[in-house]
Amino acid sequence: MIKRALFSVTDKTGIVDLAHRLQDLGSEIVSTGGTASTLRQAEVTVTEVSALTGFPEILDGRVKTLHPKVFGGLLALPDKPEHAEAMATHDIAPFDLVAVNLYPFEKVVEGKTLEDDELVEFIDIGGVALLRAAAKNYKNVVVLCDPNDYGSVLEEIQSPLGVSDQLRHKLAFKAFAHTAHYDAVIAAHLKSRWGVQEKFAEETTVGLRKVRNLRYGENPHQQAAVYRESGTPPWGVVSANILQGKEISFNNYLDCEAAWQVVLSFTDPVCAIIKHNNPCGVATASSPAEAYRWALMCDPVSAYGGIIGFNRAVDKETAEELKKLFIECVIAPSFHPEALEILKAKKNIRLLEQPTLLTAPYELDVRRISGGYLLQDVDRPPVLDLNVVTKRPLTDTEKSSLDFAWRVAKHVKSNAIVLARGHQTVGIGAGQMSRIDSLRIATIKMKQAKLDVGESLVMASDGFFPFKDTVEEAAKIGVTAIVQPGGSVRDQESVQAADEHNIAMACTGVRHFRH
């Protein structure tokens, strides 16, 4: 039975009904001032916390529940003799239920620009302490931090056995997760706001809020959900507007992210076609439709069932091209009304609109390993510095094409080889254990596409060449210029091979491994 309940809520959703139901069951309701006013207006009999403690709310409401008569009632173990004696001595009565939700710090930082003095007033102190105290004493106190849980608690309260251990455990866990998330959002926001220069802190947290459950994960037997980072403005794939199509899957999200990161690497109109998290065709052109046609030429077989990304609005001409191929998703900054009308005919195509063309505003890439996490800087490509190491210099055409190929290679799984003509990929080899095999796959793709590569076929490699064989293989297919990081102990052998075949080679001093 719930003899005594404590309320202190910012979000009043469901609180009146909860109070009425508890009161009908014989519970005493204690509440802080704002919540008490709401309950009185609804004809609920309420004792204010200030009446309980004999001490008024002070410091503009900063101090109202931080008192032994409140926390003694939350933390006491009634079956422990010394606790019972202390409670009797100090006239402290136990609480059986606490309903608390916190100042809306997350919503405030997402929607407003406040001065520091205003912002800190949305950092809850007493509410967090109430939740933690009640959750610590979960065997004796039911803790509620989410109005969605009021119904299940009311249902069990009225059962002969009362609130079950299973539900108490669930609610206590939820309260601790909630306060941890709340603090994570505050810490992350203040770090960014104040420019705290501590990239790899001794302790760090990430606040995540669930967007939705997914049908399944990478495979049908895996459960999955998608979360967005809390306390940051909506941006990126997770916050894209879903305009039409089937439910976005786990793999769709991964591939849409890959497509989005590729298109954000270019300022000219670009199209990226992604399959299994790798680009299978990328091109820049004067329009999205032309970029799509050129990207598709690279590997039309792999493009079937792929994900398409653009950094420009999808117009009518582009939509007419897209409808010719079976594709899973299209992500772009926007879609013209005429394009949407055309694509409606293919109801299953998922259309994602993300107007915010931002590269990653975060500073760390986080990856899970067994027992822990790896954190690293985000791989933001520096300005390309081509250090020509061969006798033959680069032509202006080759420089431009190598810049394009190098940007694409950054997004291809290692070992990565990208063959390009102009600003169009003509062959991509990804994820092989040896670089020479990646080149052979890229060559196969190029030959299958039957493209006229002209006189300026260039090659980009995400890592250095440990042997000269990759250069010699490139010469066989007509490569005229190569960009690679350099840094191998056998660099000179590769340079010599390039010279022998009249290939210009430039080293960047930067590699782009992507595992």
Q: What is the DSSP letter of 382?
A: P
Are the C-beta atoms of 147 and 15 separated by less than 8 Å? yes
Q: Quick one: three-class SS letters along 258-309?
A: HHHHHHCCCCCCEEEEEECCEEEEEEECCCHHHHHHHHHHHCHHHHCCEEEE
Structure tokens at 119: 């912002």
Q: Is 69 a catalytic residue?
A: no
Picking from 129, 102, 78, 98, the residue whose alpha carbon sits closest to that of residue 30 is 98
For residue 366, the cross-strand partners are 375
Which stretches of 375-434 are DSSP H helices? 396-409
Cis peptide before 415 (omega within 30 of 0): yes
Picking from 25, 78, 79, 28, the residue whose alpha carbon sits closest to that of residue 49 is 28
In this structure, the dihedral spanned by the alpha carbons of residues 259, 262, 267 and 270, taken in order and rounded to 10 degrees, is: -50
How far is Cα 440 from Cα 412, in angstroms, rounded to an integer?
Answer: 15
Are the C-beta atoms of 1 and 24 separated by less than 8 Å? no
Q: Is 136 a catalytic residue?
A: yes
Q: Which of 67, 170, 191, 276 is catalytic?
A: 276
How far is Cα 53 from Cα 79, in angstroms, rounded to an integer?
Answer: 24
Q: Which of 3, 12, 20, 136 is catalytic?
A: 136
Are the C-beta atoms of 108 and 119 separated by less than 8 Å? yes
Angle in degrees, CA 121, 132, 78, rounded to 5: 135
The pairing of strands 278-284 and 270-275 is: antiparallel
User: Which residues are annotated as catalytic?
Assistant: 136, 276
